[in-house]
């Protein structure tokens, strides 16, 4: 096994000290009326500053984008100030951090929108259950965004990108996957529009490229990444169908024009998610690597050995880890020493305070001699 995972790499304008990326992880710890990043979040991110790159938790571009409780935003001055404390602390430890810009679309509940339905590409209920802060509630039929509404969403992303730079982030990642708003426009199962934002591949991808154009007005695009999960099937109301692969190829080829920092791709998490689906890809990075003209970050239940295999095969340039970062704030050091990893407690992933958030132990000093 090589140690390529621990070697430096350049993603666009981002110079990474290693290829161990911290994946965006929703933790629901912005527990205050303005969902402002707080001191607890500063501690959490600072503990993990040894990552080559931290991709922040999904950060809402507007109140309209909310889908979960206590998720931070980046539309207000208070939120920008809160995030600035995070970025300054990460930078003081020699780390880099980008802000993942997020709009949940229909993956939301009326309780987050003054009793009104959430919004989406079309008025189609994903028919799943969403976390309401205490348990689970059924989703509702969303309101289809008008063209004017879409233009407002695009402006929200542009403003959020500017706010991210003002907050000291090194760049942004557009969250265009996992069943959220952009994914809802991309997929035929959630987009039945007949206007300029529905029907053809070009139309269904239009909002995404409108957003990249808006972001280009406020920051260099070689500091912008985007995330796709092409094989999300049977989750978050999404389905892999006959045109899914071709649609995602269209998105990636279109993104090639922009000189972006990276494409963040999610591999198949569990073979069962695509079992029996004739339209599915078993290997996501291998399929999109020849198509994408930007660096790739691969994600999807990787361990150290699998990461090295992907890097050695040239399938990606860096690897994003999720759960391992939750339980191991010193993940890079553990990889360097081939040390065992702490086990994560799923009961504290999305609720609580310090427990299961900033209290996971670092390596025993005796192992670091």
Give yes or no: 180 in active site: yes
C-alpha torsion sign, points 345, 349, 353, 359? positive
∠ CA 126-212-112, rounded to 5° = 35
DSSP bridge pairs for 130? 137
Round to whole Å and give the CA distance between 246 and 250. 6
Closest CA to 266 of 150, 369, 183: 183
Q: Single out the catalytic residue among 68, 180, 197, 357.
A: 180
Q: Which residues contact 277 (CB under 8 A, 6 or more apart)?
A: 233, 240
Closest CA to 255 of 155, 157, 176, 145: 176
- Per DSSP bridges, beta strands 136-138 and 262-266 are unpaired
Round to whole Å and give the CA distance between 88 and 246. 41
* SS3 (DSSP) at 327: helix
Q: Which residues contact 80 (CB under 8 A, 6 or more apart)?
A: 74, 163, 166, 167
Instruction: Return the active site residues.
Output: 180
């Amino acid at each position: 096994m090589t140690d390529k995972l621990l070697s430096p790499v350049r993603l666009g304008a981002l110079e990474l000290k290693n290829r161990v990326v911290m994946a965006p992880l929703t933790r629901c710890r912005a527990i205050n009326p303005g969902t402002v990043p707080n001191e607890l979040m500063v501690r959490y991110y600072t503990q993990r500053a040894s990552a080559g790159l931290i991709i922040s938790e999904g950060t809402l571009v507007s109140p309209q984008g909310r889908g979960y409780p206590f998720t931070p935003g980046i539309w207000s001055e208070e939120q920008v100030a809160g995030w600035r404390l995070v970025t300054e602390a990460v930078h003081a430890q020699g780390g880099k951090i980008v802000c993942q810009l997020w709009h949940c679309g229909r993956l939301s509940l009326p309780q987050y929108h003054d009793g009104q339905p959430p919004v989406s590409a079309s008025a189609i209920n994903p028919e799943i259950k969403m976390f309401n802060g205490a348990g689970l509630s059924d989703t509702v039929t969303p309101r289809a965004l008008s063209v004017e509404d879409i233009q407002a969403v695009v402006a929200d992303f542009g403003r959020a990108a500017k706010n991210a730079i003002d907050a000291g982030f090194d760049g942004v990642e557009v969250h265009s996957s996992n069943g959220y708003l952009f994914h809802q426009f991309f997929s035929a199962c959630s987009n039945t529009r007949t206007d300029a934002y529905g029907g053809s591949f070009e139309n269904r991808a239009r909002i995404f490229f409108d957003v990249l154009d808006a972001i280009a007005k406020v920051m260099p695009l070689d500091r912008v990444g985007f995330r796709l999960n092409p094989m999300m099937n049977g989750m978050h109301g999404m389905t892999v169908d006959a045109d899914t692969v071709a649609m995602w190829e269209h998105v990636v080829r279109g993104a090639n024009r922009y000189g972006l920092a990276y494409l963040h791709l999610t591999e198949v998490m569990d073979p069962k998610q695509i079992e029996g689906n004739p339209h599915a890809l078993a290997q996501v990075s291998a399929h999109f690597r020849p198509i994408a003209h930007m660096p790739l970050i691969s994600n999807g239940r990787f361990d150290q050995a699998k990461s090295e295999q992907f890097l050695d095969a040239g399938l990606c340039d860096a690897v994003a880890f999720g759960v391992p970062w939750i339980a191991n704030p010193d993940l890079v050091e553990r990889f360097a020493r081939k040390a065992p990893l702490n086990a994560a407690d799923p009961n504290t992933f999305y609720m609580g305070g310090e427990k299961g958030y900033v209290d996971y132990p670092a390596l025993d000093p005796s192992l670091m001699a």
